[in-house]
Chain A
Amino acid sequence: MKKYTDQGKVDTRSGFGAGLTELGRTNPKVVALCADLIGSLKMQDFIDENPERFFQIGIAEANMMGIAAGLTIGGKIPFTGTFANFSTGRVYDQIRQSIAYSDKNVKICASHAGVTLGEDGATHQILEDIGLMKMLPGMTVINPCDYNQTKAATIAIAEYQGPVYLRFGRPKVANFITDDIPFEIGKGIVLNPGKDITIAATGHLVWEALQAAEALENEGISAEVINIHTIKPLDTELLISSVEKTGCIVSAEEHNYLGGLGESIAGALATHHPTPQEFVATKDTFGESGTPAQLMEKYGLNKDTIIAASKKAISRK
């Protein structure tokens, strides 16, 4: 199995901050907005270097989305920053009408997604945001897996014309994507080729999927691990070619199984190549307070559940 090395635990939101800082230096059209969460979103370096291109909106996310839509008129590329919960559900109609239906080139950048936000609890732990955003016509939805990929995705979406939802998180996690694994919107990445089971993972679950594949290999099971960072548009072609080989699939994500990556995969495969599928995701529940590790364990979002789901999927072939 291909080896991936954790280059050191770091949060994906810092990857966003680093990407935004680089954009500040390279793309004068990029502007940033924040709703009173500069530190959490790691936006300070961009602000220090480009104070005139930063807008502190205050605790007023609806207004932030509208102002971002307006800033595109005149050619700016606005990046909004707040928690995932306040980037989506709180402002759904503002995004729907002023951004998506208005075809505005706004990049909605959302930190602290999922249960790994931790101790703040369910009021802040959104597990529905991928579903909300992917249902909007024309919206691109991206959930990168580590610091390096989040930085690359942040830079890539500035070059893409159209609204984007970029989802990342709070905890320090493994950083393992190397420079020879390029990021391209809409293109999944085969991190490990295999023949018995396809594991399609997004966000924080990608590292867990790699750990699961290693354990499965020790049991003689060959797992193909695919990093689906772009949930919409989904790389259906890659997924079909994989399950044509493996005959079964596990989807893994830090999100409700309703509306998430797994649902998108199931829809695509049901149409093109019906395949036994197991879902590693939260089961239509809210989260709760706890440490990120405790919550991933309690809500079944780790390598152990991916291993069990893989065996179950294989048994259904």
Chain B
Amino acid sequence: MPDYNFLDSLVSQVRRDILRMVHKVNSGHPGGSLGCTEFLVALYNEIMQIKEGFDMNGENEDLFFLSNGHISPVLYSVLARKGYFPVEELQTFRLIDSRLQGHPTTHEGLPGVRISSGSLGQGLSVAIGAALSKKLNRDDKTVFVLMGDGELQEGQNWEAIMYAAANKVDNLIATVDLNGKQIDGATDDVLPMGNIAEKFAAFGWEVILLKEGNDLKSIIETLKLAQTKTRKGQPIVIIMHTEMGNGVDYMMHTHAWHGKAPNDEQLEVALAQNPETLGDY
């Protein structure tokens, strides 16, 4: 049984980390980060089997790839709070000489990151490669990847979606963060993508719908269900409905906070809605 008290307190603390990180440098992407906070907290703390320490090859452990690299604040916070690197290092986000680049990279040697991302649409292909590598190594662990919904407008994704189904890459669980928003507005206004779940299904994927993508219990149950469907001949995708900016009232139900930092007053309001639980960095 998951320790929901701990997970709830971690979610609150990660939200504070995200808000403080982007506020300090007046840049970064809080909206998508807040929308995926529950998912990444659940994934790293309840689902993934992870070894002590970090090595790039990641053999005999579950792996996670972030394709929509702009939500780096949530990844950095979850990694730091998991112990991959000191929590204090979060204060270097987007500063000169930092390992916490605007978008995640392996190039500065940050533990927990296995691919650079930010230029969209590339993470699924990389995750497929890592999954194939695991199969060659007779490694029974699973590869997870998170993609944005707007990101699915990049054509490379559909090459990868076609390949994974055709080649039965069934040790792969992809999640699409379906928040319906991108920089220029609603995805339905920018470039309507139709029914994404039906598109994945048409390509041959096992599709799981997650209506409550900001609810820890729903997320954990869905990810556990997805785990039971691995190694059955199909790649798996979770279509996860989330609210961009979740947990900060004025950042929700708008795309305005996709890539904009709060000012001093806005930060205070946001932090008051997310109490300090595990200690600020």
Contact = CB atoms under 8 A, between A and B. Distances in A.
Chain A partners chain B: yes
Interface string A52-79: 1101011010110111111111111010
B125 interface: yes
B129 A71 contact: yes
Contacts of B163: 57-58, 60, 63, 67
Contacts of B107: 101-103
Contacts of A94: 122, 125, 156
Contacts of A284: none
Interface residues of B, number: 39
Contact of A66 (B59, B156, B162): B156
B116 interface: yes
B74 interface: no
A97 interface: yes
B136 A66 contact: no
Interface centre among B114, B117, B127, B136 (most CB of A within 10 A): B136
Contacts of B105: 101-102
B58 interface: yes
Nearest to A57: B163
Interface centre among B59, B124, B130, B134 (most CB of A within 10 A): B130
Contacts of A70: 65, 115, 125-133
B185 interface: no
Nearest to B133: A74
Interface centre among A65, A78, A98 (most CB of B within 10 A): A98
Contacts of B117: 97
A62 B160 CA distance: 9
Given A73-B63, A98-B115, A102-B105, A66 B58 contact: no
A74 B125 contact: no
Nearest to A67: B129
B122 to A, nearest CB: 5
A152 interface: no
Contacts of B156: 60, 62-63, 66, 94
Nearest to A94: B122
Contacts of B118: 97
A119 B167 CA distance: 34
A49 interface: no
B278 to A, nearest CB: 30
A69 B123 CA distance: 10
The 9 residue pairs across chains A and B that have the minimum distance between CB atoms: A70-B129, A66-B125, A74-B133, A63-B159, A60-B159, A67-B129, A70-B126, A70-B130, A62-B156
18 contacts: A58-B166, A62-B156, A66-B128, A66-B129, A69-B115, A69-B125, A70-B127, A70-B131, A74-B134, A74-B139, A75-B57, A75-B133, A93-B122, A96-B119, A97-B119, A98-B125, A98-B126, A101-B107
Given A70-B127, A72-B133, A98-B122, 12 more contacts: A52-B136, A53-B136, A58-B163, A62-B159, A67-B125, A69-B126, A70-B132, A70-B133, A74-B133, A78-B129, A98-B115, A102-B115
